[in-house]
């Protein structure tokens, strides 16, 4: 498949139907909220429609033509995920509902089988709630201890703090690949190596990285890695958990029911092979097919091209935000940052900023972005967040800056 070396932005944008709409007459949509969810290209929408129109059937056990075609499309999507993330085997790719469920699966299955009173889990202060609350719940239930890698004023992980915590020999280390609030891209390969050297199992939250960066999980070496389809041009309702095969084999099932079993008797059952062991019930078939189509789309463009395009956008954004009086941006500089800019506006609540921008067709996020602890660290209740993707343009960045000047005018 041909890979573009330079992003053809007009060609890319032409494949997203929603980008042609106006939020009101004469006001085009400027979508700067891709860290919450991305927009969907036409081929993803059409792939899911084709399934419902031509193949709709349940998978794996049917022997009629529709069931066989649906099964082939579903498992083909798993193969595409395997190749896209650099996994060694499709057995390591578990379909879940989202990143949140993937992390919870590890917490409930691996965590409850392997962690007990006094054991240590190391997290970071910049984690999304989805990679914090499941471990807090486990700590409350089992007496597991939690410790947190500190974040510097520049929005980087304090690796000295990380080294200090590793001296306590944690059983699990879990951290985000890229912060959804700060945009910080963490040195995950190095962190994984250091954690595993002291005997820790490593889980990485890749919700913000897989859509935006070239990611090779085998190269990174993590034991578990989680991400969602809806942030990478795919549909909602499906996520992925990658796991080290020997760990997945040892873990007890997460949910019980159809497809996760080989045999059921009145008082006992035999668990199915990987990956079906963790996929109880009818799976998100259309959504998996949509994810496969999203991977085809991203592969045709090239993840390095996506990453470089977003670098140009965030560099422009950071440069231009400096000129707006009263604005403070959080997170590191361009060299350590993905396409996310969270900022505060002196004297103006983030919700007011977002509302005024919405009147100009500009969609941004306002709130704590499911990352309350890192907001509290910086003394914030909320921020405004603009997040970019492959379909955004430099002109849209400039429109956002013009919108912020209007915010300043409204609030004096």
CATH number at residue 323: 3.90.1150.10
The answer to whether residue 189 sits within a structural domain is yes
pLDDT band at 6 (very low <50, low <70, confident <90, very high): low
The answer to whether residue 3 sits within a structural domain is no
Sign of the dihedral through C-alpha 110, 76, 287, 264: negative
326: containing domain: 9-40+302-410
Same domain, 184 and 199: yes
The answer to whether residue 52 sits within a structural domain is yes
pLDDT band at 194 (very low <50, low <70, confident <90, very high): very high
Where a domain ends, among 263, 283, 299?
299
Of 115, 78, 85, the closest CA to residue 222 belongs to 85
The answer to whether residue 4 sits within a structural domain is no
Same domain, 255 and 365: no
Residue 94 has pLDDT above 80, yes or no: yes
Question: For residue 151, what is the domain's CATH number?
Answer: 3.40.640.10
Please state, in angstroms and rounded to a whole number, the distance separating the CA atoms of residues 113 and 121. Answer: 14
pLDDT band at 340 (very low <50, low <70, confident <90, very high): very high
Same domain, 228 and 270: yes
The answer to whether residue 2 sits within a structural domain is no
Please state, in angstroms and rounded to a whole number, the distance separating the CA atoms of residues 278 and 256. Answer: 9
- Rounded mean pLDDT, 235-240: 98
Same domain, 88 and 172: yes
- Give pairs for 154-162: CB < 8 Å, separation 24+: 154/331, 154/332, 154/333, 155/126, 155/179, 155/182, 155/183, 155/184, 155/330, 155/331, 155/332, 156/184, 156/332, 156/336, 157/124, 157/126, 157/184, 157/186, 157/187, 157/191, 159/187, 162/122, 162/191, 162/194
pLDDT band at 30 (very low <50, low <70, confident <90, very high): very high
Same domain, 271 and 318: no
The answer to whether residue 134 sits within a structural domain is yes
Same domain, 53 and 21: no
Same domain, 18 and 87: no
Residue 30 DSSP class: E
Cβ partners under 8 Å of residue 63, min gap 6 = none
pLDDT tens for 353-406 read 999 999 999 999 999 999 999 999 999 999 999 999 999 999 999 999 999 999
Cβ partners under 8 Å of residue 17, min gap 6 = 42, 45
The answer to whether residue 375 sits within a structural domain is yes
Same domain, 309 and 281: no
The reported pLDDT for the residue numbered 1 is 35
Same domain, 67 and 144: yes
pTM: 0.96
Where a domain ends, among 299, 318, 353?
299
Where a domain ends, among 299, 327, 361?
299
pLDDT tens for 278-308 read 999 999 999 999 999 999 999 999 999 999 9
Residue 219 has pLDDT above 70, yes or no: yes
Q: In the numeric block, which tokens belong to residue 267?
A: 């008082």
Catalytic residue among 137, 324, 370, 372: 370
The answer to whether residue 1 sits within a structural domain is no
Domain count, the chain: 2
pLDDT band at 262 (very low <50, low <70, confident <90, very high): confident
Q: Which residues pair with 321 in a beta bridge?
A: none
Mean pLDDT estimate for the chain? 96
The reported pLDDT for the residue numbered 61 is 83
Same domain, 217 and 231: yes
- For residues 199 and 227, is the Cβ–Cβ distance under 8 A? no
pLDDT band at 2 (very low <50, low <70, confident <90, very high): very low
User: Is 233 tagged catalytic?
Assistant: no
pLDDT tens for 48-62 read 999 999 999 999 988
Among residues of the chain, what percentage have pLDDT more than 70?
A: 99
Same domain, 336 and 289: no
Same domain, 87 and 171: yes
């Amino acid at each position: 498949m041909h890979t573009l070396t330079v992003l053809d932005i007009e060609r890319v944008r032409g494949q997203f139907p929603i980008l042609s709409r106006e939020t009101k007459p004469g006001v085009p949509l400027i979508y700067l909220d891709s860290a919450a969810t991305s927009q969907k290209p036409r081929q993803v929408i059409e792939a899911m429609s084709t399934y419902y129109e031509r193949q709709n059937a349940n998978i794996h056990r049917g022997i009629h033509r529709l069931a066989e075609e649906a099964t082939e499309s579903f498992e083909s999507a798993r193969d595409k995920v395997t190749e896209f993330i650099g996994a060694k085997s499709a057995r390591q790719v578990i379909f879940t509902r989202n990143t949140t469920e993937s992390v919870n699966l590890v917490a409930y299955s691996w965590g409850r089988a392997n962690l007990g009173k006094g054991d240590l889990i190391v997290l970071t202060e910049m984690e999304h709630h989805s990679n914090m609350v499941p471990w807090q719940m486990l700590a409350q239930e089992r007496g597991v201890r939690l410790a947190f890698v500190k974040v510097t004023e520049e929005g980087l992980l304090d690796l000295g703090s990380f080294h200090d915590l590793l001296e306590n020999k944690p059983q699990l280390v879990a951290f985000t690949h890229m912060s959804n609030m700060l945009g910080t891209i963490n040195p995950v390969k190095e962190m994984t190596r250091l954690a595993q050297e002291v005997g820790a199992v490593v889980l990485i939250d890749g919700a913000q990285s897989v859509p935006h960066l070239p990611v090779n999980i085998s190269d990174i070496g993590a034991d578990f890695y989680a991400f969602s389809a809806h942030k990478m041009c795919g549909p909602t309702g499906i996520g992925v958990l990658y796991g080290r095969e020997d760990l997945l084999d040892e873990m007890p099932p997460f949910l019980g029911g159809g497809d996760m079993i080989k045999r059921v008797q009145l008082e006992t059952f035999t668990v199915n092979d990987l990956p079906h062991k963790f996929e109880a019930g009818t799976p998100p078939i259309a959504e998996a097919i949509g994810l496969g189509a999203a991977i085809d789309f991203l592969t045709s463009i090239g993840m390095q091209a996506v990453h470089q395009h977003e670098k140009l956008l965030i560099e422009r954004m950071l440069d231009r935000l400096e000129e707006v009086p009263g604005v403070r941006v959080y997170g590191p500089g361009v060299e350590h940052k993905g396409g996310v800019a969270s900022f505060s506006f002196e004297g103006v609540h983030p919700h007011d900023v977002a509302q005024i921008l919405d009147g100009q067709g500009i969609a941004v996020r306002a709130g704590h972005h499911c990352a309350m602890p890192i907001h509290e660290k910086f003394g914030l209740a909320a921020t405004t967040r603009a997040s970019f993707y492959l379909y955004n343009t430099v002109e849209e960045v400039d429109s956002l800056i013009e919108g912020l000047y209007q915010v300043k005018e409204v609030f004096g």
